[in-house]
A = this chain, B = another copy of it.
Amino acid sequence: MDDSRPFSPVALLGMGYMGGSLALAAREAGLVDRVVGFDRDPEAGRVARARGIVDEVSGAAEAAVAGAALVILATPVASLGALATQIAPAVRPDALVIDIGSVKAPVVQAIERTPLAGRYVGCHPIAGLEVSGAAHAHAGLYEGKPCYVCPGPRAQAQAIAAAESFWTGLGAHVVRLAPEPHDALMAAASHLPHVAAFALADSLSGVADALVAGIPAASPPTSLRDTTRVAASSPVMWRDIFLENSSALLPLVGALERSLGALRAAIEAGDGAALEALLRNARETRRRVVKSA
């Protein structure tokens, strides 16, 4: 271990947008001077190598983690438990292991059942976008953003401190939160908005031809642009997030169905008072939870 760079070398498992940006950020912050990557998709490796995200691409996850001081698990959330089991024998005993998945309770439970327990700290930086792939990765993605650090019951204090120091070193604002409350919070703050955006975009597929014909795609109404923006996100990644966090998410989807039904019923009935009351409650809630535009 190089004392001046306690997180170097890094093993980056999964070289997509989030992981690629994290490696770039760690390098730019001077925390890391060597990154070895692995991805099941060889094209991701080629892009990451060409963009200087990784110094070397390994042919296997076990080979990538050998010797690493920091192992970053940046694959889809549903894959993390099996990946941790697979690499555990090859991970250095003093290495720190983190993931950056959007759901924490099932991931932390799965990884704490492997020999990595103790050295593993679940993390979730709030910095996604609807783009995906290493080609879009950029070093500034996490700067000034919140990063939830969600240790499970078996995480060692030293590992938690190291994980928090890593994120702080990137310019992120660390928020400590246990995995279950994290998942409940994210179900409302991020997963339900994605459900709404995907459902809206899906429902428009029947009128897409008319929209393409009648609306300039490069300057659509801002309402259409913004409400559907995250529906351009990765279907595989969001399939996994929705399924992994279903227990926290489903009651909120039910509430959204009821709100939508109530709005529709008020329009159908021509009930302006009920409709206005619902819209006022919506505006009031929006103003409470989001301060800026």
Contacts and interface: CB of A to CB of B under 8 A. Distances in A.
- 3 pairs of A and B residues whose beta carbons are closest in the complex: A235-B279, A201-B282, A217-B291
Interface string A88-108: 000000000000000000000
A242 to B, nearest CB: 5
A192 B246 CA distance: 26
Given A185-B215, A214-B189, A267 B243 contact: yes
A248 to B, nearest CB: 10
A170 to B, nearest CB: 16
How many of chain A's residues touch chain B, expressed as a range?
35 or more
Q: Which of A190, A193, A202, A206 has most B Cβ within 10 Å?
A: A202
A196 to B, nearest CB: 4
How many copies of the chain does the oligomer comprise? Answer: 2
A267 B246 contact: yes
Interface of A is mostly: helix
Interface of A: 126, 128-131, 144-146, 173, 177, 181, 184-185, 188-190, 192-208, 210-212, 214-233, 235-236, 238-240, 242-243, 246, 249-250, 252-264, 267-268, 270, 272, 275-276, 278-293
A260 B257 contact: yes
Contact of A217 (B227, B264, B289): B289
B252 A198 contact: no
B235 A280 contact: yes
Contacts of A231: 279, 282-283, 285-286
Given A197-B227, A246-B268, 5 more contacts: A197-B282, A199-B282, A229-B286, A235-B280, A239-B272
B198 A263 contact: yes
Contact of A218 (B201, B226, B262, B291): B291
